[in-house]
Amino acid sequence: MNNLIKLLSVVFILFFWNSCNNDVEFQINDTPLLFSKDTVYLDTVFTNIGSSTYNLKVYNNSNKNILIPEIKLSNGNDSFFRLNVDGIYNQNDDEGKRFESIELLANDSLYIFIETTIDINEISSDQNSFLYEDKIEFLNLNGAQDVNLISLVKDAIFIYPGRYENEEQYIYETLEIDFDGDGINEQTEVRGRYLDENELIFTNEKPYVVYGYAAVGNGQELIIEKGSRIHFHDNSGLIIASGGSIKANGEFSQNQGLENEIIFEGDRLEPFFENIPGQWGAIWLLDGSIDNEFNFCTIKNASVGIYTTGGANYDNFKLDLRNVQIYNSSNFGILSLSSSIEAENLVINKSGQSSFAGTYGGRYKLNHCTISNFWNSGIRQFPSILFNNFFIDSDNNEYVNELFDVDVSNSIIYGNQNIEFLVENLSDVDLDFKLINTLVKFDDVNNYFENDPKYDFSNDQYYENLFDNLLPGFINPVQNDLRIDQNSEVIGLGSLEFAIQTPYDILNINRTANSDLGAYQHVIIED
């Protein structure tokens, strides 16, 4: 009865309004509206993080101008959804929940924009995810039509710096940290905090969402268990300080859900953000951090996937990478400054600068790696893989590191530019590097490097059994599918000596019987 009275009241007002309108006459809607979809699926969001905006198109296919008496959310002001109806957001202080007297011309349409922010604690206290539903109701003279709204909200563990209010502004906690390796912590402007002792184990029970930089301090070890999901907000990441370490050890996953893989990515879960570079900062391994391990991990959509400084003189390698994929880095997949890295089954693709940059010397041992760069979001300056022995500071001071030790074996270095491999040096310091049984894309069409002995591929000081400019046969490198197909020219070119050091490829296929180059054994693609 109350709804009937309310409808009749709205109808009376609208009839009165029509009688006063001498320009365009509108009739209260008595025919069905048409909708671009009957259900709007808003993609998964984290609790208390706003979604992207989704849209619904509403059509008036009749030959008369109509008034829609009311558009509202079924859950009213308690709804977690918000509407914007044809540019109107807040009507009658209803904050996107209810709208009256919406005009729609004959054979015309309007847009409704939909957003949500959901507090999972208000709908469920004992679940890690919850399917939240509501409806948009469209009132007319014959009753109502509705469109379903559905969104999945996930609970998460949030890690963020402290903040306090000062003169109506929020001041955020910043890190005191030894960035320059002199043993003294300096106050920085990097927003973040050190992890507490009870936060040093990341599990797969809930995803983690990091705001600012979460830091691992001296004497601390961050353990990330298999199947964990770590999401970073804009300008956020991990910092492993001097004396700290990270152990991110996933396991091989049997299905495409990557149930055992550890994934580092941004905190926007909508499909549009799936492969957008530069959504978060970096995993930063500072000088003095030790025994850092990543195994069966995917790092995607960062500014720099992994940035490591110092550690070239360690007895063991500072960073151990096994079965790691790094994609869509807006700057570098891996950026190393006088550090030491050992990698097996490492795959890197689509980086705004270099996929792998070993700068200012250091030690690098890469076996059965696929280092490629099919960046397609602008122009890049550097090749897929870059090594050098120097550093030039902001005042143009040059520094040379005599320690330069690079070994690359059974690998693929490729991309969408002519030159995808460079090794540079300053001074007369001899470079100790060797590429063995490796494919390198190096098409020097302008003969720029013709007289540089570092690119004489017949020089056995630097190269042994090098394959230049063969076709790797990547399945879909633009989509980060760096598997090789049955037509690849690198099938069977791997040396058994290095294959037995890494006997299984990144998909857990044995490669010791007939080793292909790179991180993947070839697959047969059916036509």
**CATH second-level architecture of 2-154?**
Sandwich (2.60)
**What angle (nearest 5°) sits at the alpha carbon of residue 483, between those of residues 358 and 378?**
55
The yes-or-no verdict on residue 1 having pLDDT over 50 is no
* Contact criterion met (CB below 8 Å) for 489 and 473: yes
The proportion of the chain whose per-residue pLDDT surpasses 90, expressed as a percent, equals 73
pLDDT of residue 124: 66
pLDDT of residue 140: 87
Global confidence as pTM: 0.86
Q: β-strand 439-440 against 412-415: which pairing, if any?
A: parallel
Confidence of residue 17 (pLDDT cuts 50, 70, 90): very low
Model confidence pLDDT, tens digit, residues 182-241 = 778 888 889 999 999 999 999 999 999 999 999 999 999 999 999 999 999 999 999 999
Model confidence pLDDT, tens digit, residues 449-484 = 998 989 999 999 999 999 999 999 999 999 999 999
- Cα 150 from Cα 138, distance rounded (Å): 17
Q: Give 119-122 contacts, CB < 8 A, sequence gap 24+.
A: 119/47, 119/48, 119/80, 120/47, 120/153, 120/154, 120/155, 121/47
The yes-or-no verdict on residue 142 having pLDDT over 90 is no
Which residues have a Cβ under 8 Å from the Cβ of 368 and sit 6 or more positions away?
Answer: 344, 345, 409, 410, 411, 494, 498, 499, 502, 505, 511, 517, 518, 519
pLDDT of residue 429: 72
Q: What is the mean pLDDT of the chain?
A: 91
Domain ranges of the chain: 2-154, 205-499
* Contact criterion met (CB below 8 Å) for 51 and 45: yes
The yes-or-no verdict on residue 35 having pLDDT over 80 is yes
Confidence of residue 125 (pLDDT cuts 50, 70, 90): low
Model confidence pLDDT, tens digit, residues 353-411 = 999 999 999 999 999 999 999 999 999 999 999 999 999 888 999 999 989 999 999 99
The yes-or-no verdict on residue 16 having pLDDT over 50 is no
List the beta strands (DSSP E) in 105-140: 108-116, 129-140
pLDDT of residue 181: 67
pLDDT of residue 23: 65
Model confidence pLDDT, tens digit, residues 85-106 = 988 887 666 689 999 999 999 9
